[in-house]
């Protein structure tokens, strides 16, 4: 699989070089903006600073996966959920339908621009039961105990032991966690993997761990149940934290 990943990386690099050549001013300004950031992921991917306002449209094709992630959590009214790497809050609506006005969403994201969009979404809908925390997941100051944690399209977070540890440390025993996202399909599905690489490159800091993105989470939640989606180009994982 390492060889397939390497091949993909070169394909993606070639495509990005081609795009850069045909859109030099945009790419250059993104790189300049990115140098002002200290977070590694944001340096490699200025998307969240530059394109926060178009993020919802650009990733709308993945909304069915977001709905699936929320379904897996089986939230009930009045429950509290941590939406890790919540972005612009694209999962909030489905979560609100489940938890109702007496429940609570804690959204964590490291990009102020993305959180600003999440804030606008909350204001638009009149949701007052949302706390937004601008922070890395590993150092986020999460208050109280949640019933569930959601990791929707958060590959980089899922590679971090400290991020998962911090979040799950604030989920009650017996609480749930769910993760949904993209992964490499089997290597012979080259076309699908190239599509995956191009579609996710703007939003993923590193493709390390893309064979089994849930592997670190599995260490925390041994009973994690993983289902492959989209011919292996996606996955959904759900589990219960030990009492
Ligand atoms: C692809 S977005 C997904 C956003 C949202 N969950 C969705 O479904 O659209 C993943 C986000 O996680 C953020 N992220 C990556 N590592 C993070 C970390 N350690 N702590 C907090 N956010 C992180 C990235 O900046 C990125 O915006």
Q: What is the pLDDT of residues 86-116, one digit of tens each?
A: 999 999 999 999 999 999 999 999 999 999 9
* Unique residue bearing structure tokens 């992921």: 41
Residue with CA closest to ligand 1 atom 26: 85
Contacts of 126 (CB under 8 A, 6+ apart): none
In tens, the pLDDT along 29-54 reads 222 222 223 344 444 455 566 678 88
Residue with CA closest to ligand 1 atom 10: 154
Q: How does residue 17 score in pLDDT terms, banded at 50, 70 and 90? A: very low
Q: Which domains does the chain have, with CATH numbers?
A: 56-240 (3.40.50.150)
In tens, the pLDDT along 129-176 reads 999 999 999 999 999 999 999 999 999 999 999 999 999 999 999 999
119: its two tokens? 């804030």
The answer to whether the CB of 8 falls within 8 A of the CB of 188 is: no
109 Cα–ligand 1 center, Å:
6
Best residue among 49, 53, 117, 156 to mutate for probing ligand 1, ranked by most atoms within 8 Å of CB = 156
88 Cα–ligand 1 center, Å:
10
- Give the total residue count for the chain: 243
37 Cα–ligand 1 center, Å:
15
Selection from 78, 119, 69 nearest residue 229 by Cα: 69
């Amino acid at each position: 699989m390492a060889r397939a990943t390497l091949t993909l990386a070169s394909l993606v690099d070639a495509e990005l070089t081609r795009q850069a050549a045909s859109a030099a001013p945009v790419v250059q300004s993104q790189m300049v903006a990115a140098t002002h950031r200290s977070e590694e992921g944001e340096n490699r991917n200025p998307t969240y600073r530059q394109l926060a306002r178009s993020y919802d449209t650009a990733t709308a094709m993945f909304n069915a996966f977001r709905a699936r992630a929320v379904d897996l959590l089986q939230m009930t009214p009045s429950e509290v959920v941590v939406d890790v790497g919540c972005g612009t809050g694209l999962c909030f609506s489905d979560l609100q339908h489940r938890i109702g006005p007496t429940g609570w969403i804690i959204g964590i994201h490291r990009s102020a621009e993305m959180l600003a969009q999440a804030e606008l979404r909350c204001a638009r809908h009149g949701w007052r039961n949302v706390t937004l925390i601008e922070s890395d997941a590993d150092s986020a100051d999460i208050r109280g105990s949640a019933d569930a944690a959601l990791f929707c399209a958060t590959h980089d977070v899922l590679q971090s032991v400290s991020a998962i540890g911090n979040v799950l440390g604030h989920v009650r025993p017996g609480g749930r966690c769910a993760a949904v996202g993209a992964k490499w399909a089997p290597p012979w599905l080259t076309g699908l993997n190239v599509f995956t690489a191009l579609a996710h490159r703007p939003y993923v800091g590193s493709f390390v761990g893309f064979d089994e993105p849930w592997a670190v989470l599995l260490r925390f939640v041994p009973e994690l149940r993983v289902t492959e989606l989209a011919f292996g180009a996606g996955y959904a994982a759900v589990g219960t934290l030990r009492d």
